[in-house]
Amino acid sequence: MPVPDPDRRSFVATSVTLVGTLAASAATAQSKEADSPLIAYVGTFSSPLTDVLPTQVDLPPGNGRGIHIFKVDRVTGSLTAAGVHEMGTSPSHLAVNAAGTRLYSANETDRQGDKKEGTVTAFAIDPKDGSLKRLNTVRSGGAGPTYVSLHPSGKFLLVANYFGGTVAVLPVIEDGKLGDATDVKVDEGKVGPTKAPSAPPGSFAFSGHDRTHAHQIQADPSGTFVLHVDLGLDKIFVWKFDATKGTLTANNPPAVSLPPGDGPRHFHFHPNGKWLYSVQEEGSTVVRFDYEAKKGKLTARQTISTLPKGYAGSNFCSEILVSGDGRFVYVGNRLHDSIGVFAVGATGDLTHVADEWTRGNYPRSFAFDPTSAFLYCCNQRADHVTVFKVDRKTGVLAFTGQYVPVGNPSCVAFLDLKRG
């Protein structure tokens, strides 16, 4: 009988040990990932409180209490209340930085002190439980800030002021605090008509065609250009961004127009960076654009209704999101109270797949959890958040049965608190 080679036996034993060690390490890493807290922050429309900075809120008082904090069950998607950072300034939109250490809120108020202007607040995030500590609050560069996003560099916060019809750039300074605006642009042009040509038959949908209304601002994936929509002007503006000075310069061309009266509200880039999808609030449509990243140029390629065939009457679109894998687009319909699901084709064009009832009233926005396994919908007038399971293959949503009580929810942002 041949005698086993001792070196070979040692090699095999070492290999088995190494494989076992790697497998154990991977399992430990997965376990830590699964056990690490996942936090959901829900921004709300809230009533003035006595313990905040003196602020006159010209908007109707809300039922929220500020920024509501939840722990997320990664398996079931359920939310468990973990506290509230009370604010009476309607922190209606939130943004978490890439490092997961800071959160920023757009405080959708019309007046700060004696100045008709809203504010933005910076918070430090406790790495243990996700609780918030206010760092500072600064003026937003216009009334009613409704949207905030971080530039890819992490050095600037971009703000869209709905009631002011302006956009602003705020520098992120020491310790994550915000500085005074490095640039503010005032939207100018001809306001569109009160009737949207693309709206369903019998629609009386009218929201923002009384004046200029900046509704969203976001950098493109490279950070070279910054785009923002003005609902009242029916335009998507494109700006060249100076990442050193934090300033905006009009691109050539400076904007692309949507049908007058349709009211562009939000947009979302496809993961490939080549396509952009814009949802029109009053027209109830999605327009797909080709995007030339080197030039910052948008070219419209497709327009599709957000509603099922045969729908008649009024509807106001709200949110639009592209799934993380780029296979589906999700669109919010208020009054129809649904989320439309669309498949993305090889050229980027959309095909309607399904409509899912939100189980509530007036879905203002929705968001995926970090794994895109669940979708969370803010039903603003129903005072709750509903949770849906996402079918990765079909894109279809399935209601989990969970209603999470939150007064006038407006926005959901997630934070993965990885430990060790």
pLDDT, tens digit, for every residue of 133-179? 999 999 999 999 999 999 999 999 999 999 999 999 999 999 999 99
HSE-up of residue 401 (Cα within 13 Å, Cβ side) = 1
User: What local confidence, expressed as pLDDT, does residue 49 receive?
Assistant: 54
Which of these, 123, 117, 192, lies nearest to 161 by C-alpha position? 117
CA distance 87 to 39: 19
- Could you report the per-residue pLDDT of 371-415, keeping only the tens digit for each? 999 999 999 999 999 999 999 999 999 999 999 999 999 999 999
User: What local confidence, expressed as pLDDT, does residue 113 receive?
Assistant: 62
Which of these, 362, 361, 360, 368, lies nearest to 341 by C-alpha position? 368
Residue 413 host element (H or E) = strand 409-416
Q: Please compute the mean of the pLDDT values over residues 125-136 and round it to a whole number.
A: 97
* Main-chain dihedrals φ then ψ at residue 21, nearest 5 degrees: -65, -45
Report which residue type is found at 164.
G
Cα dist from 238 to 253, 257, 275, whole Å: 8, 11, 15
* Residue 300 tokens, joined: 């419209």
User: What local confidence, expressed as pLDDT, does residue 34 receive?
Assistant: 55
- Could you report the per-residue pLDDT of 320-351, keeping only the tens digit for each? 999 999 999 999 999 999 999 999 999 999 99
- Could you report the per-residue pLDDT of 178-189, keeping only the tens digit for each? 999 999 999 999
User: What local confidence, expressed as pLDDT, does residue 58 receive?
Assistant: 44
Residue, of 100 and 28, whose pLDDT is higher: 100
